[in-house]
Structures are given as C-alpha cells and as structure tokens.
Structure 1
Amino acid sequence: MGRKHHGAEALRWSLSRGIPVVGVLTDHHLPGSPTAAVAREHGLPLLTLEEATAAIEAGTLRFELAVSYVYWRILRAPLLGAARLGVINFHPAPLPELRGTGGYNVAILDGHREYGVTAHYVDEGIDTGPIIECRRFPIDLEHETAVSLEARSQAMMGELYRDTIERVLEHGRLPTTPNEGGRYVSRREMEELKRIQPGDDVSRKIRAFWFPPYGGAWIEHEGRRYTLVDDALLRQLSPEPPLFPRSDEG
C-alpha cells in the first residue's frame, strides 16, 4: 500500500529483492500514478481498499505481510488481522511525538531540534501501533523547509524500509516498544496553522509550509489569500545572481 514515487521506489526494491507481491493498493485511479505504473510494469493486481477487503472476506486474497508506505487510507479489520506477520506502516515523522499529517510542518513550527522516521505495526488507531524502530537526525533550525525536511526524511525512510523488510524476512514478527502520547495533527488543523497570526515568527512559518506547488503560509488582503515567500527562498529558486541589487543593498 503506497502512493507517489516513494511508494513506487519501495515496491520496485521489494520486487528486485524477489519478494512475492500479491497485490498493490494505491491511487491508481489518478493519471500518472508512479506506484500504479510499477505495478502494471510487473503485472501485479491493482486494488482499492474496498476491493482488497472484499477479497479477504471471500478468502481469495491471502498474504503473510502487509506494508503501508505513505498510504492515505485508515486501515481496519479484516485487513489488519489477515496477515500472519502483521501490517507495518512507514511513517514520515518521529513516533510517538508526531502522529497524523503535517509532521514536517509542525516540527519546524515548534522548533524541534531533531526529526525522524518510524516503522511501526498498525492497529485500529492512527499511527498508534507498537514501534519497531524510529531513526532520527538533527534539524537545521535556521534554514530547514518542509521541502528539505521531506527530502531528508524520505531518503532515511527508504533505508529504514529496506532494513526492516530484511529483518522481517529473517526473523518474522519483530520486537517493539510502546507508542504512547504524542500529538495528533489532522489535515484540517494543518491547513489552519498556515494562516499567519499576530505574534508569529513569520520566517519560520513560511519555511514550515514551503512545499510548492501547494499553498504555503498565507495572509488575507481584501478577501483574497496570498502565500508568502521570503528572500532566502527566492534565492534558492533562482541560483543566478540578480541583475539589480535589492533595495536594501544600495
């Protein structure tokens, strides 16, 4: 189960490793889905969550392990109980601290000094299952953006995925630690956090939600929303030196 190119890369590695894959759950209804493209390339069945659930109930879909890699649907029975080795989710944020969505954004907003990615077993909650492993790395508090934090996180999560699957192949079900506490952020809350409020650290909020082409930190003027960008991000977008100096440079 996965989406976008991160899920596609995880699927491609699994196939190169010779792991039998009996089905792929992804956003294959969307044009250009990279995970669906890899599945079609290898002749793998593409399923919706509803189709997979029906097949499990009918006894026509059987598997030892299920993997969720940046998959957006909440998983329930009977899927959770169908795999002898469980369902493992790869969460692009450190657990137990940051559950739900918006991990990159909240970590920058709240001034976290480190970030991480997590492998955990899935239960009925959202990112609440027992933790297999959380790998962490330091955050650059002065320059980190949501884009840069995602890039660093996904590189580490790819390594965590490969190492975790290798361990499952060798040992079966893996030992865990409790997943207790932390903060859950919904998609609605994340969108509300984007609005710049009095007293905000504006530069930090801009970086926290800098993820083009999606809307970032915004203000409202005459009934319209405007996404803000600062000079540092503009310079990243255009590495060439400007033809004319900025007004504050004389």
Structure 2
Amino acid sequence: MQRLRLIFMGTPDFAVPALAALRDAGHEIVAVYSQPPRPAGRGHAERPSPVQTFAEAHGLPVRTPRTLRDPAAQADFAAFGADAAVVAAYGLILPQAVLDAPRLGCINIHGSLLPRWRGAAPIQRAILAGDDETGITIMQMDAGLDTGPMLLRESVPIGPRTTAGDLHDTLAEIGARLIVEAMQGVAAGSLKAEPQPAEGATYAAKLGRDEGRLDWTRPALELDRRVRALNPWPGTWFVHDGAKIKVLDAVADPAAGGDPGTVLPGGLTIACGEGGLRLLRLQRAGRAPVDAEAFLRGYALAPGTRLPRGDEPAP
C-alpha cells in the first residue's frame, strides 16, 4: 500500500469511521478540517464536532475555518502539500482553488447512489421517497454539487422498518471501507473515475424542523416513512391540547380508516388520508419515551379525539 499525505474534511458522526479507517490504514493525516464548534445544550456552550473531537483525541492537527473562500485559508490548505483530500459531510463549499490543490484532487464519500439524491440529506430523502435501496458513492469532486465522476459504489437495501439512524450507521461503515479501497486504487492508478449517468439525478434538500409535523391528511404509508426518515433528527410530532407529542416509532395500517386526524378505537391508531398510522412509541415534553400502552395509561387520548390535520394550524 502506498502511504499518502491526506487532508480529511468532515464534521458529523457519519465522517468519523472514514477518518479512523484512513488513519488505521497507515496514511498520514496531515490535517483535519471540520466546521467550527457550535453552541449546544442548555448552557449553549460551544461544542466541537464529532470529527474534531476524534481528531484531537488522536493527536491530529485540526483546522476549523468558517469559510474556505478566503485566500489566506486557501494558501494554508495548499501549504500542507497533500496528495489528496478526503471529504465526508464537511458542510462547507470547496472553492476551485481548494479542489485543485491536492495532487490527486478531492475525493468525496457520499451517502447515496449518485446521481440520485445529490445534496445535503440523501439518507433521509431516500427513505421519504420510498426507495428500495441506497448506498455509498466514492466520487472525484468537481465544482458542481455532487456531480463529479464516480470511483466506487456499493448499494444496500432499505427495509420496511429501516430508520435514518440505522441507515446512517450502515453507510458510514461502508464509506469507511470503500474510501480505503478507493485511495489505494487512485494512488496506484488502477481505479479510474466514470462519469455519472446523465439520467436520474435528484436533489436531497436540507432537512427542516417543520418537516417533522405529521399531516394526517397524507397516506399512512407516507407518514410511516416520515417517522423512520426523520428518526433520530429532527423527529416527528403532532399537537394535542397545545402539547407537542413526539412519535418515535409507528407503522402504517392500510386497513384502518376514518376522518383524517381521528383517534380510532383499539390501541393508538390515527386515521390518515389513506389507512391509519398505529403509533408504537411516543414521548411527551420532559418525559421519557414510552410504548403506546404506557402512554395511554398516563395521557388521555380517547377514541374519537380529533387531532389537528396538516391543513389546519397547530394550536
């Protein structure tokens, strides 16, 4: 194996296994770039990203610029003399000067089967859309948004109960394995990038907190996917008597029916535009998560109760 001088660029948990794998493979990590620490928790103290935390714990030099458009930041990046930069969910746009600086370019670990789901939230969008599979693409970066030629791809199925959290962990491990393989092939000249297909491109827009509100006028199968796609973040919820109640797990019941938003008899099933959504695990503000049976013992949500629908303002 050829030992490379690498810059690693990543921010969230998704990127940590790849950084660890490259380090364990014997490559020299000359710098780790991550987004700056952000205020977090009740005290709003600045908290470093998971990638920065890992890097510092293993003695790797860290840079946290707020932008890479500054010529001084670009000069600092180029001065490392890296063979390549590996990028995984970094979160900042790389200007052309940065893309061009490493000898072998910048190589990205992307959580979808490109060209489907280019953009910020490919894992969640794949589940929301009802895709049967997704995967990891290792790509050579260019100036476009996830448009560069592909080096390696590996697919995984999306099961009927797969959550975004499940898929995140699976894809992070696949990405870590593939990036080591890709760097070996690129360094040896045995792995050639192929252009992405011209057809089938879709855009995975960034998630917003308001996407978590359950719209009971939608089909139950769609809401089932929404609960799984937004687990663990930003989560799904509905409002009753002014209280926001989180839905942590649910399953569609195509045989159920009624006026959308109505609590149906037997268990905790809510009528939807098509079918019903059986709520399995819930959480009230300031309380621990509980299953539906325990929730109903401590909270009055009787059959016939009408919850606000998606086409109505939440109280």
Q: For the superposition of Structure 1 and Structure 2, which TM-score range results when normalised by the shorter chain? A: 0.7 to 0.9
After TM superposition, the structure 1 = structure 2 runs for residues 118-133 of structure 1, keeping only pairs within 5 Å, are: 118-133=137-152
What does the per-residue CA deviation read over 1:29-69, in whole Å, with 9 as the maximum and x for residues that have no partner? Answer: 35354422443345433223447952543663322211102
Structure 1 position 104 matched with structure 2 position 112: no
Query: Map of 1:141-160 to 2, 5 A cutoff?
Result: 142-160=160-178
Shift of 1:93: 1.6
Other-structure match for 1:234 = 281
2:63 paired residue number: 47
CA separation in 2, counterparts of 1:225 and 1:75?
Answer: 39
> After the TM superposition, which of the residue ranges 20-29 and 81-90 deviates more from structure 2?
20-29
Looking at structure 1, the residues matched to 295 and 24 of structure 2 have their Cα atoms a distance apart, in angstroms, of: 52
Higher relative contact order (CA 8 A, sep 6+): 1
Q: Which amino acid aligns with 1:160?
A: L
**CA RMSD, Structure 1 to Structure 2 (Å):** 3.4
**CA distance, structure 1, for counterparts of residue 218 and residue 18 of structure 2:** 42
- 1:1-250 to structure 2, matched below 5 A, reads 1-27=9-35, 29-30=37-38, 31-49=47-65, 50=67, 54-57=72-75, 60-140=79-159, 142-171=160-189, 174-180=192-198, 181-187=200-206, 191=209, 193-197=211-215, 198-201=217-220, 202-211=223-232, 214-220=233-239, 225-230=244-249, 234=281
Task: Please tell me the residue identity of whatever aligns with 1:66.
Answer: A
Residues of 2 paired with 1:92 and 1:161: CA distance?
A: 12
Which consecutive unaligned segments of at least 5 residues does structure 2 have? Answer: 1-8, 39-46, 252-279, 283-287, 304-315
Paired with 1:94 and 1:65, the residues of 2 have a C-alpha distance of 23
Larger strand proportion of the pair? 2
Given that residues 128 and 179 in structure 1 are in contact (C-alpha distance below 8 angstroms), is that contact kept between their aligned partners in structure 2?
no
Name the TM-score, length of structure 2 as normaliser: 0.65
Q: Which moved more, 1:1-10 or 1:123-132?
A: 1-10
Shift in alpha-carbon separation, 1:245–1:216, aligned structure 2, 3 A: closer
- Give the superposition deviation at 1:101: 2.1
TM-score scaled by structure 1? 0.80
Q: In 2, distance between residues paired with 1:193 and 1:239?
A: 23
Q: Give the CA deviation at 1:97.
A: 0.7
CA distance in structure 1 between the aligned counterparts of 2:227 and 2:234, rounded to whole angstroms: 10
Which amino acid in the other structure matches residue 51 of structure 2? T
Give 1 or 2 for the bigger CA radius of gyration: 2
CA distance in 2, matches of 1:103, 1:167: 26
Q: Is the contact between residue 114 and residue 137 of structure 1 (CA under 8 Å) also seen in structure 2?
A: yes
Cα contact 2:109–2:136 (8 A) shared by 1: yes
Report the Cα distance in structure 2 between the residues aligned to 1:207 and 1:9, rounded to whole angstroms: 23
More helix by share: 1
